[in-house]
Structure formats: structure tokens, C-alpha cells
């Protein structure tokens, strides 16, 4: 039986990203973000509704700020995913400072439908990945696959 | 001595908005938002840094999602402020359902500088107020008057 | 043999939209826009490169303003397409005033790659169609299927 | 009498920018753009209404694409203005390739009011100028000082 070294490294990279985004960023813990998967240029995160995340007491829906926060965060995870080929060989202590330089330059969020639901997922995919900036689109859906919000963000990546 | 009835009503309107945004929306309590003042077409809110609001463990700065949440919220308060003339005569129980129909259609946020600081303020002013939608600009500054982020939002108001 | 009345009406509606956007709007004639097809919630337009549309004399590429103009226009055509079910029974003289009320509230354009090419197409699809506003996404590609730019627009539709 | 060398250089820089934007970019000639002034971090352009620039045959107003084109262009001029300190010493033949690398990454345009009027002006000011990207805001007004549209753009500058 053969060990696939690159798959092992890819898994270690994923675990580093997951650990960072789920546990090290205080506000992400409030959001309850779980990093579900990373692709070459994609990211998938999930989170669940809680009373603390509600913004509208009349409609019992997600706060708009929660929606923009999870879209922004998933875009940031996808930005990191797009760097994996370049950086996945690095040990964790060298990865974290690189991640620390990644940042959102600007974001647009479209609130399409009320954020009703129990469990939510956000997909992000990189539309263009350059040496300096990446442009990424995000979509937030509830457990019934209703499209709640979409976003487009420009991220500094180098 | 004469009582200024319209000023009294304006104050009651302000207190209703303040109470709603500070106490009734769970996520706003996490953000620690304080509604400082309302003008005819403007709003000013304040909040203070706390560990829970941090997004970057390397730079100790506000989470981008916190920034977009407070910009979005201040825009929503300004959208309500722009309706005061129309609605400030109404008793609180009639105001709340009207506020519940106000919502963000879309928002753009520009993250200009790292969100460093102890105390932050967000100004919002209405650029256009129509029967159906309002367009509002927002600016987030820290206690040293550093411009941290700006935003533009389109809000449903009728 | 039976005549399909609704298909006939749909075709007349398409011809009205095509005539309006291609011939009646002076700036669209400068852009050389051709309305290729309308779906229930989609639109496809095409245009060809010409010297007048260039913005960068060093790279011989489309002017950014041309790109945003064709994205905005295709979004507007898709906004009209989404109204076809409601309005396709109306005669042309009643349609034009309705179209005249449709307008862009705001738009975001992401310039992903230089606008090189000979023939360009723009797809637009409605992400949410409400009674008052529609949110629409657009994508501009060249004849080699290179994604040059994407956009998201909010349109007043009622 | 003393010659102010830096003022002379600043004037030469302005004339280079003016010549480039007014005469060398074919689409700008269609728009009829005039570069009125450059500041350290600001730009002012002007243009006049013409039949070719109309988008709405019912309301005789500027085409949305014209509005986004002039906002985008004025932002680009302001991006160049913000580089003047770094580059104004260079001769024209070295400036043009630098200008050719400046480009819009993304832009948001808010169409606030119908583009009615005879003469229009667009102001742009740099909100943040970094080594790689600049964030710039723009405002379009008619001759009666009516605010027709505003925009925010992110530009690649290095």
C-alpha cells in the first residue's frame, strides 16, 4: 500500500484552515462557522441558526450582518483555497502569517430573501485569481435550498 | 412656559428606535450597538471593541463581518430616520410593524484600513429617499478619527 | 393545424423589446447591441468590437464604460423579460410606457480580464424578481468563451 | 522672478493626463470627456449632453452606461492623480506605460436621479491609496447641482 503524500499535505492544509477559521477567530465562534470542505478554487462552510444571530424580531430571520459576515468569511476561505497549490507544502507556522495578510478589499451583498431556516450553507468560488487580488462569488442557502443571499468580494491575496 | 409638542414626539420616536435597535435585536446586543443620535436624514451609532468582535488574531482588528454588520445597521437606522416626518405621529405599537418592513436590498462595503481601536462610531446619511427605496452612505471611524471602512446600501422603505 | 396564440404573443413581445433596445436608444446604437434572445428570466445580447469602443490604447481592449454599459443594458433586458408573463398580452403602445419605468437602481461590475476579442456576448439571469425590485446577474464573454467581466444589478420594476 | 520647477512639472503632468484621456481613448471622445482639473487626490471632469448619450427615449435622460462610464473614467483619472507625487518627474514617454497598468478592479454605481441636464461634472476623490490598490468615490452632478449618481471604485495602481 502506498501513501499519497500530496493528499496527506492537502489534508493537513485543510485542517490548518479549518482550525484557524473555526477556533482562532473569536467572531467566527459567535457565528458558529464550520469549514466543510475546500476545493482547488472553492470553499463550503455551514452554520446553524441560533437566537443570537437573529436580526428581525418580527420575522425571526438572520441579521443582515450575520449574512454578510458568513459570505465574507467563506470568500476569505476560498481565497486561501486558491493559494493551496502555492503554499500547501509549508508547515503550519509559516502558513498562518500568509493567511494573516489575506483580506477583503470590498464586498457586495444582495439580500434576496428573508434568512429563514435551521441550517445554512455558503458556497464560494473564485472567479479570477491574480497575483495581487482574487474576485470571489458566494451564495447562502438554507436547508431547503432556498437562495437567501449572494455576494461578490474582492480579496487581497499577495 | 410652552411645551414643544413636535419636539416631544421627535424624542419619543428616537427612544422607540433606540430601544428597538439596542435591545430587541439579539445580534445587535452582541455587537454592542448604541444609537447616539438621529437627524432628519442621518444616524450616528457607536460601539466599543471587545474580544468577541475580533477577526484577525494576528492584527487584533475588528472582524470584517462586524464592520459590515454595523455599517448595514446604521444605514437601516438612517432609513428609519428619513421616515420620521411621515410616521413620528404614530404610537409605538404602529411604528414597529412599519420598521419591520424596512430591509437592506444590497450593500457594498469597502474595507479601507485595519479596524484597530477602542471606540468606534458610524455615521450614515441618506443620499436619496424615494417612496420605495432609499440609498444611504455610511462611514466607520475609530476614536482617532481614522476612516476604517465605508459603505453604500440600498434599502427597501415602502 | 393550430395556431399557438401565446407563442405568437411571446414573439411579438420579443420583437418589441428588440426594436426598442436596438434602435430607439441612441447610446445602444453606438454600442451596437443586438438582442439575441429572451427567456422567462434571462436575456442574451451580443455586440462586436469596434475602434470606437476601445478604452486602452496600449492593450486594444474594450473601455470599462462599454463593459458596464452592456452589462447594465443586458440586466435591463432581463428585467423586462421577467415581466413578460404579466405584460405580454398588452399591445406595443402600452408596453413602452411600462418599459420606460424600469430602471437600474445600482450595479456592481467586476472587471476580471482585459476585454480582448472580436465578438462579445452578455448573459443575464434574474436571481430574484419581486413586485418592486429585481436582482440580476450578468456575465460578459468573448468569442473564445473567456469571462471578461461579471456584474450584479438591482432594478426597479414596479 | 523665479520659475517654480515643481509647478511646471505638475502642469506638464496634468497636460499629459488631459491629452491621454481626452484624445487618445476613442470611447472617451464619444463621451466628450474634458479633464478640468487634478488635485493631489482628486479629479474633476466635465461633459455635455448630446443625443448620442441618451438612454431613455421617454425621459430624454443620460444612458446608465454613459453614467457608469464617466464615473469609472473620473475615478481612473483620480487614481492617476494620486500617483503624481511618485511619477510627475518622469517624461511623458515613461508615464504612458505606467498609466496603461492602472485599471478598474470593480465599481459600484448608484443611479440616484434621472440624468437630466445640459452640462455635467464628475468629482472623484481618493479614499485610500495603497501600494497596490486605491479606493475612490465619484459624484455626478448636472449644471443645477442636482446629484445624479454616485459611485465607488477599486483600482489597481501598482
Q: Using one digit for the tens of pLDDT, what is the confidence trace for A138-158?
A: 999 999 999 999 999 999 998
CB atoms within 10 A of CB D4: 9
The chains found to touch D (3+ Cβ pairs under 8 angstroms) are: A, B, C
| Predicted-complex ipTM score | 0.92
Helix residue ranges per DSSP H, chain C: 5-19, 26-31, 64-81, 84-87, 92-101
- Give B45 or B1, the one with higher predicted confidence: B45
What does pLDDT average to over chain A? 90
pLDDT for res A85: 75
How much is the average pLDDT of B148-156?
Answer: 98
Is residue D129 over pLDDT 80? yes
Q: Which three cell numbers stand for residue D27?
A: 470611447
Whole-prediction pTM value?
0.94
Choose the weakest-confidence range: C59-68, C133-142, D34-43, D97-106: D97-106
Query: In whole angstroms, how large is the CA radius of gyration of chain A?
Result: 16
User: Is the four-CA dihedral D109, C128, A68, C138 of positive or negative sign?
Assistant: negative
Is residue A3 over pLDDT 70? no
- C127:A113 CB<8 A: no
Best CA proximity match to D130, nearest among B67, B113, B56: B113
CB atoms within 10 A of CB B89: 12
Q: Which residues of C touch B156 (CB under 8 A)?
A: 132-133
pLDDT for res B84: 80
Which of A102, A128, A133 is the best substitution to test chain D (most D C-beta atoms within 10 A)?
Answer: A133
Choose the weakest-confidence range: B17-31, B104-118, B139-153: B17-31
How much is the average pLDDT of C49-56?
Answer: 88
Dist CA B147 CA B78 (whole Å)? 19
For chain B, say whether C96 makes contact (Cβ under 8 Å). no
Dist CA D5 CA D11 (whole Å)? 10
Q: Which three cell numbers stand for residue A67?
A: 449574512
Q: Which residues of D touch B108 (CB under 8 A)?
A: 108, 152
Of residues A110, A128, A154, nearest to C135 (C-beta): A110
- C135:B108 CB<8 A: no
Choose the weakest-confidence range: A22-26, D41-45, D97-101, D140-144: D97-101
Q: Model confidence over A37-91: pLDDT tens digits?
A: 999 899 999 999 999 998 876 778 999 999 999 999 999 999 999 888 777 777 8
Q: Which residues of C touch A110 (CB under 8 A)?
A: 127-128, 135, 152, 154
CA-to-CA dists, residue D145 to A152, B34, D117, D142, angstroms: 33, 35, 10, 5
Dist CA B107 CA B62 (whole Å)? 19
Q: CB neighbours of A51 closer than 8 A, spacing ≥ 6?
A: B26
The chains found to touch A (3+ Cβ pairs under 8 angstroms) are: B, C, D
- C105:B105 CB<8 A: yes
- To the nearest whole percent, how much of chain D has pLDDT over 70? 97
CA angle at residue A17 from A15 to A20, to 5 degrees?
105
Is residue D140 over pLDDT 90? yes
Give the residue from chain B lying closest to D110, CA to CA: B135
- C108:B105 CB<8 A: no
pLDDT for res C93: 81
Query: In whole angstroms, how large is the CA radius of gyration of chain B?
Result: 16
Dist CA C124 CA A43 (whole Å)? 25
- A82-90: long-range pairs with CB below 8 Å, 24+: A82/A40, A82/A41, A82/A126, A82/A129, A82/A134, A82/A157, A83/A157, A84/A10, A84/A13, A84/A38, A84/A40, A85/A40, A87/A13, A88/A9, A88/A10, A88/A12, A88/A13, A89/A9
pLDDT for res A7: 81
pLDDT for res B2: 58
Q: Model confidence over D16-43: pLDDT tens digits?
A: 999 989 998 889 999 999 999 999 899 9
The chains found to touch B (3+ Cβ pairs under 8 angstroms) are: A, C, D
Best CA proximity match to A66, nearest among A54, A81, A77, A76: A54
For chain B, say whether A66 makes contact (Cβ under 8 Å). yes
How much is the average pLDDT of B94-120?
Answer: 91
Integer distance in angstroms from the first to the last C-alpha of chain D? Answer: 39
Is residue C103 over pLDDT 70? yes
Q: Which three cell numbers stand for residue C74?
A: 443586458
Q: CB neighbours of B158 closer than 8 A, spacing ≥ 6?
A: B101, B131, B132
pLDDT for res B33: 96
What does pLDDT average to over chain D? 91
Integer distance in angstroms from the first to the last C-alpha of chain A? Answer: 39
Residue A120 distance to chain C (closest CA, Å): 18
For chain A, say whether C104 makes contact (Cβ under 8 Å). no
Residue D55 distance to chain C (closest CA, Å): 5
| Contact assessment for residue C55 and residue C63, using Cβ atoms and an 8 Å cutoff | yes
Band (pLDDT 50/70/90 cuts) for residue A1 is low
pLDDT for res B87: 77
**A118-147 residues labelled b (16+ CB within 10 A) or e (exposed):** eebbbbbbbbbbeeebbbbbbbbbbeeeee
For chain D, say whether C140 makes contact (Cβ under 8 Å). no
Q: Which three cell numbers stand for residue B103?
A: 430591509
Q: Model confidence over B36-86: pLDDT tens digits?
A: 999 989 999 999 999 999 887 677 899 999 999 999 999 999 999 988 877
Of residues A25, A58, A104, nearest to B111 (C-beta): A104
- A57:B24 CB<8 A: yes
For chain D, say whether C93 makes contact (Cβ under 8 Å). no
Band (pLDDT 50/70/90 cuts) for residue D83 is confident
Q: Coil, helix or strand for D116? A: coil
pLDDT for res D146: 97
Is residue B20 over pLDDT 70? yes
Which of D128, D129, D130, D136 is the best substitution to test chain B (most B C-beta atoms within 10 A)?
Answer: D128
Dist CA B27 CA B63 (whole Å)? 14
- A28:B55 CB<8 A: yes
Amino acid at each position: 500500500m502506498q501513501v499519497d503524500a500530496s493528499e496527506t499535505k492537502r489534508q493537513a492544509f485543510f485542517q490548518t484552515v479549518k482550525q484557524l477559521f473555526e477556533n482562532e477567530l473569536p467572531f467566527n465562534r459567535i457565528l458558529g462557522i464550520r469549514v466543510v470542505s475546500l476545493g482547488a478554487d472553492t470553499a463550503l462552510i455551514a452554520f446553524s441558526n441560533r437566537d443570537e444571530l437573529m436580526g428581525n424580531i418580527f420575522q425571526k430571520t438572520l441579521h443582515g450582518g450575520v449574512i454578510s459576515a458568513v459570505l465574507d468569511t467563506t470568500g476569505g476561505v476560498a481565497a486561501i483555497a486558491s493559494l493551496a497549490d502555492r503554499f500547501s507544502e509549508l508547515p503550519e507556522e509559516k502558513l498562518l502569517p500568509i493567511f494573516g495578510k489575506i483580506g477583503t478589499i470590498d464586498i457586495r451583498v444582495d439580500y434576496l430573501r428573508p434568512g429563514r431556516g435551521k441550517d445554512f450553507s455558503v458556497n464560494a468560488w473564485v472567479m479570477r485569481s491574480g497575483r495581487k487580488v482574487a474576485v470571489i462569488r458566494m451564495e447562502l442557502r438554507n436547508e431547503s435550498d432556498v437562495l437567501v443571499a449572494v455576494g461578490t468580494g474582492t480579496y487581497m491575496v499577495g
